Structure 1
Amino acid sequence: MSETQQQHVVVVGATGHVGSFLVPRLVRAGHRVSAVSRGTREPYHADPAWDRAERVVADREAEAAAGTFGTRIAELRPDAVVDLVCFTLDQARELVEALRPTGAFHAHCGTIWVHGPAAASPLREDDPREPFGPYGTQKAEIEEFLHAETRSGGLRSTVVHPGHISGPGWPVITPLGNLDPGVWEALSSGGELLVPGLGLETMHHVHADDVAQLFELALARPDVSAGESFHAVSDRALTVRGFARAAAAWWGKEANLRSVTWEEFRAAAGEHAEASWEHLSRSHSASTRKARELLGYAPGTSLDAVRAAVEAMGLLPRP
């Protein structure tokens, strides 16, 4: 897909975090867009460009169980399909088999969790991996399947791996790697915040619009992006301590941090402790060099992405 060539792009999961920004981007670029969703909610981000997108209501889970979802998408006659809500190999296989005869280009939303615990920093797309947990493991299986399909001369696909997607309209991962609103309360008031270990683990946030940016760039250059994976993250990752200190400054406060053992942290954090472990034990900081050099990717900062979410949550006055 070149910048001057209009295409019919089908976006599956269109009203989610990334789709809310991707659909307007594609519409403004002059493409015909079919926005597929369950029809249960409006996009997170309002944009007049949505008025020029075709809405398609589809329950993927129900239709996939009946073996009809892939055919439903193929019958829309797309030039390209962006799949933002594929989480199992069976889902990916059904869609690929249906799209293969169409010659459409396919873009899949993965995750940087395919890497597992970081062995080097920043992570590169082709680094050795040790994924763990269902989410990262299944996304890694999907990626392997899609690239094998491309190499074999079948459906051409690319994979975009977002970091911790942030932005207005939904809760954001805090400096402790969880969704505990008490973290923001402590940072905004100068209250004490317990930090497991030294707080040097990293998290790599990204604004949903920057993920959408990378999908748009990949669709524009299928000759470059087919068979490749790209990290969709911000310019730099943040450590727990660095993130907490920068966030506290939004309220004119200094972060009041106290290091504790993981055992002490688990006892204090309760239900939020497991999410913290899931994020911090991976300690991800991913390179964007490949996406920058091959596609011209230009993301914003982690702090700007998080601040947009915190402002939308009503915890900070908008500038």
Structure 2
Amino acid sequence: MTKKRIAVTGATGFLGSHLCKRFIADGYHVRILVRDINKAREYEGQVEKIIVGDIADKEALNELMQGVECAVHLVSNFRIASGPPESYHQINVEGTKTALHAARAAGVKRFVHCSTIGVHGNVKETPATEDSPYNPGDLYQETKTEAEQFCLNKTKKEGMEIVVIRPTSLYGPGDMRMLKMFKMLAKRTFFTVGPCTENFHAVYIDDAVNGFIKVMDTPGISGQVFFIGGPEYVPLKEYINTAAKAVGVPPPWLHFPYWFFYGAAVVCESICVPLRIEPPLHRRRVRFFKNNRAFSIDKARKTLKYNPLINLEEGMKRTVAWYKKNGFL
């Protein structure tokens, strides 16, 4: 049986690299768009084509989509407070529009858009479902919401299947965004803010990859949204303590009131952001300890036959083992 030809944007990111490795291992014909060829050297000789360009490059996107059956759009501008605010809209919204239009023009059958659970912000009623109200809390989440809505509104107009995935918090080998937490835990300098009783929903990278493949392969789901998450969500305190256990240290002993650090974050941002300096403390980082992030994956289980296998304790063990093996811890 001939395997699909797949196009991937954001192929060198954490999720993108794991997806591409799985696609290659499974025998798919893979075409990738990258900004920096040096970050894609590992793919040379393994993928069908590497196209160098950014998400605003229409010519590069048109080339990427040629002969493709399924496009997986992962590119997004993540939160960097010192960056220009307009970049969020340019990449998250306009970039998505450009990629989708290129896919439609090339005759791509299915366009899989990677959104974020952040479109729900701080979840009021848990667990949230795919139909829970939008509640974005910052510019990143607002632009991701706009991009998602654009894709869903285009479903009936483009003559192409469009499916949206909202992954919960990704972690696993290769994840550098959460490395700072693990390093601070190892040094016993990590502290918590507030009681940490709100829920946190993570998903191990291998389970997330399986979820994406289910979305690519399941028929009759155009215009739908799916949460792809781990088998459980837990109070944030349990999430942090599980990470500490995997590192081999006791739970954090430093605890501070929420109001103090949130106020400090407001001051830091008011000084640093206008100067395009990355603040040492962000409101979003403080909200990490306060926001409720619990999501139902029942729809994915039922419709996609998605079945996450890696629980939090096992996933943390594997993640820490990778950090240690590669000299990060």
Pair in the same fold by TM > 0.5: yes
For the 8 Å contact 2:58–2:102, the answer to whether it is kept is: no
Q: State, as a whole percentage, how many aligned pairs show the same letter.
A: 23
In structure 1, what is the equivalent of residue 148 of structure 2?
A: 143
Q: Which letter maps to 1:58?
A: V
Q: Given the superposition, is the C-alpha separation of residues 95 and 172 from structure 1 closer, same or farther in structure 2, using an over 3 Å criterion?
A: closer
1:238 aligns with 2:234: yes
SS at match of 1:303: helix
In structure 1, what is the equivalent of residue 223 of structure 2?
A: 227
Query: Offset at 1:302?
Result: 3.0
1:106 aligns with 2:111: yes
SS at match of 2:7: strand
Q: Given the superposition, is the C-alpha separation of residues 308 and 29 from structure 1 closer, same or farther in structure 2, using an over 3 Å criterion?
A: same
Number of equivalent positions:
297
For the 8 Å contact 2:165–2:227, the answer to whether it is kept is: yes
For the 8 Å contact 1:171–1:313, the answer to whether it is kept is: no
Question: Within 5 Å, which residues of 2 pair with 1:86-97?
Answer: 86=76, 87-97=91-101
For the 8 Å contact 2:193–2:261, the answer to whether it is kept is: yes
The partner residue of 2:176 within 164, 171, 179 is: 171
SS at match of 1:33: strand
In structure 1, what is the equivalent of residue 129 of structure 2?
A: 124
Unaligned ranges ≥5, structure 1: none
Task: Name the CA distance, whole Å, in 2 between partners of 1:263 and 1:315.
Answer: 38
Unaligned ranges ≥5, structure 2: 77-90, 269-278
In structure 1, what is the equivalent of residue 39 of structure 2?
A: 41
Task: Name the CA distance, whole Å, in 2 between partners of 1:53 and 1:316.
Answer: 25
1:73 aligns with 2:64: yes
1:157 aligns with 2:162: yes
Q: How well do the aligned residues superpose, as a CA RMSD in angstroms?
A: 3.0
The partner residue of 1:195 within 180, 192, 197 is: 192
In structure 2, what is the equivalent of residue 213 of structure 1?
A: 210
For the 8 Å contact 1:202–1:239, the answer to whether it is kept is: yes
1:15 aligns with 2:12: yes
Q: Which letter maps to 1:136?
A: Q
Q: Which letter maps to 2:98?
A: E
In structure 2, what is the equivalent of residue 59 of structure 1?
A: 53
Task: Name the CA distance, whole Å, in 1 between partners of 2:44 and 2:206.
Answer: 15
Q: Given the superposition, is the C-alpha separation of residues 256 and 24 from structure 1 closer, same or farther in structure 2, using an over 3 Å criterion?
A: closer
Task: Name the CA distance, whole Å, in 2 between partners of 1:144 and 1:162.
Answer: 16
Query: Offset at 1:156?
Result: 1.7
For the 8 Å contact 2:134–2:145, the answer to whether it is kept is: no
Q: Given the superposition, is the C-alpha separation of residues 122 and 279 from structure 1 closer, same or farther in structure 2, using an over 3 Å criterion?
A: same
In structure 1, what is the equivalent of residue 245 of structure 2?
A: 249
For the 8 Å contact 2:51–2:64, the answer to whether it is kept is: no
- More displaced 10-residue stretch of structure 1: 10-19 or 305-314: 305-314
Query: Offset at 1:37?
Result: 1.9
1:279 aligns with 2:288: yes
The partner residue of 1:294 within 278, 300, 303 is: 303
In structure 2, what is the equivalent of residue 308 of structure 1?
A: 318
